Amino acid sequence: MSEHHQTEHSSPIKTPKQLAIVVALAFIVPVVVIIVLAQFAAGGKKSTASPAAQEEAVAKRLKPAGEVMISASGSAQQLRDGKTVAETACAACHATGAMNAPKIGDKAAWGKLTSRSLEALTASAIKGVRQMPARGGNPDLADVEIARAIVYMANQGGANWKEPAAPAAAPAAAPAAAAAPAAVAAAPAGNDSGKGKSIYEASCAACHAAGVAGAPKTGDKAAWAPRLKTGKDALYASVIKGKGAMPPKGGNASASDADLKAAVDYLIGLAK
């Protein structure tokens, strides 16, 4: 009876070698099963694409959702909406109220500001006010983009302002007729009224349309009279170099001297 009991409960592992094999299989078999399952889940397919194609595919997967496009000087600028400008250029202070900036959504703070005109607020932002640097520290912002950001933030504070449209592009010059007199073809530089108006609307109107910060108001003959006496060259120099509260080039560093002179000529024409 005792002998039969021992035989029934005896282990199949009789030697140390058998024990070592069993232990090894206990580790190897699960690893092999995991590898097989992983290959099965991946479809067991190997990429046949060239290394260059594989790198391109990786680059596409890593490509960010948005890109910043910088246009060359003189080309058409893609103007951003107010929300985009506020989030990228203004939020550092206005989202948190840092340095006493009116916080986005603070109706009390923006209620005081919106008692002023959009033109006045835009002029302040362009020049800088208290701890805020000129153009919010981003000299690449166009005047209309700054105005749009102000409209967006003001509307978050309870205002109902309309986002300003992009300034009208200068009309394309008509081709000169073959039989046009030489005197007409050789019009003096600086008399391009269309270009002057475009530059004025983009860079000058924020201050001159409302007479902000002592700027002679557009069309105000009395305000322009003493300035006209100094001559065009003096006015050109003041705009290019800056004078008083007006920054050099009216804050538009990308504008050429010829463009700025055209804007001055446009303003002079309205003041005569």
Complete domains list, the chain, with CATH: 82-156 (1.10.760.10), 190-271 (1.10.760.10)
User: Is the per-residue pLDDT at 180 higher than 90?
Assistant: no
Q: Which residues contact 269 (CB under 8 A, 6 or more apart)?
A: 193
Give the model's pLDDT for residue 177: 42
Q: What is the pLDDT of residues 238-249, one digit of tens each?
A: 888 888 767 787
Q: Is 129 helix (H, G, I), strand (E, B) or coil?
A: strand
Q: What type of residue sits at position 77? A: Q
Q: Which of 78-87, 93-102, 125-134, 178-187 has the lowest mean pLDDT?
A: 178-187
**Which tokens belong to 232?**
């065009």
Q: Mean pLDDT, to the nearest integer, of 129-135?
A: 84
How far from each other are the two terminal CA atoms of the chain, in whole angstroms? Answer: 131
CA distance 198 to 4: 110
* Average pLDDT value for the chain: 75
Tokens linked to 15: 């030697």
Tens of pLDDT, residue by residue over 28-42, are: 888 888 888 877 766
Quickly state the pLDDT bin for 220 (edges 50, 70, 90). Answer: confident
Residue 198 or 103, more confident: 103
> Of residues 259 and 244, which shows the higher confidence score?
259
